[in-house]
Structure 1
């Protein structure tokens, strides 16, 4: 299965629409975090049983939910800059940086500056959300 990129990723991606053929972007689970979009790049629909790969777009000034899940996350920042909360610590990260989020660790990604934040997130099999 190949999903070819059909939109831009990077500056202006939220407005211009990062996209992949055959992948419908979804609004983030929490409507109060308006503008955050999720693209399920590899998952159950592709037959993947051991992991999921998703791309998130966060508009300038936006953030993901402050949440925790039982599974680990591997995250790579593709575009923009972010303030990442991991437990009680915060870190600034940018394009090309990689973030490990341990299972059950409180985490949040906040877009910094005037550009949207784009990141790829890989997680294990669906066990919770």
Structure 2
């Protein structure tokens, strides 16, 4: 069980040749009693992006703040606060911050997707 606020969760900064200007926060996981799933918040700074990649598990996303795009299976979709997406397993995808300021979203994956 957990009741908290995202501002109180320590984030992990990620910045390399595949991911730019990103912070990941694990909000709820099996460690908190949610067996099998993990809810994370990702924040992409201006010009930031996630890797363009595939994996076997699906994920659910909800946009909290900012403007961005989702490249999904050969198409680009514009996203803003309130947008949501289901990304099936084995589909090429990437999130990119296309606006000013931060682009933040919730990402829920099966436990194996957060290793």
Contact 1:63 1:108 in 2 (8 A): yes
Measure, in 2, the Cα distance between the counterparts of 1:102 and 1:43: 20
Structure 1: gaps spanning 5 or more residues = 7-18
Aligned to 1:46: 32
Aligned to 1:122: 108
Shift of 1:2: 2.4
Aligned to 2:93: 107
Structure 2: gaps spanning 5 or more residues = none
Q: Is 1:31–2:16 an aligned residue pair?
A: yes
Higher strand share: 2
Q: How many aligned positions are there?
A: 114
Q: Is 1:83–2:69 an aligned residue pair?
A: yes
Measure, in 2, the Cα distance between the counterparts of 1:100 and 1:44: 21
User: TM-score w.r.t. structure 1 length?
Assistant: 0.79
Aligned to 2:2: 2
| Structure 1 residue ranges (4+ consecutive) displaced by more than 4 angstroms after TM superposition | none
Contact 1:69 1:128 in 2 (8 A): no
Measure, in 2, the Cα distance between the counterparts of 1:86 and 1:111: 15
Q: Deviations over 1:65-118 (max 9, x none)?
A: 111111111000000011110011111111001111000111100001212100
Cα root mean square deviation, aligned: 1.8
Measure, in 1, the Cα distance between the counterparts of 2:84 and 2:95: 13
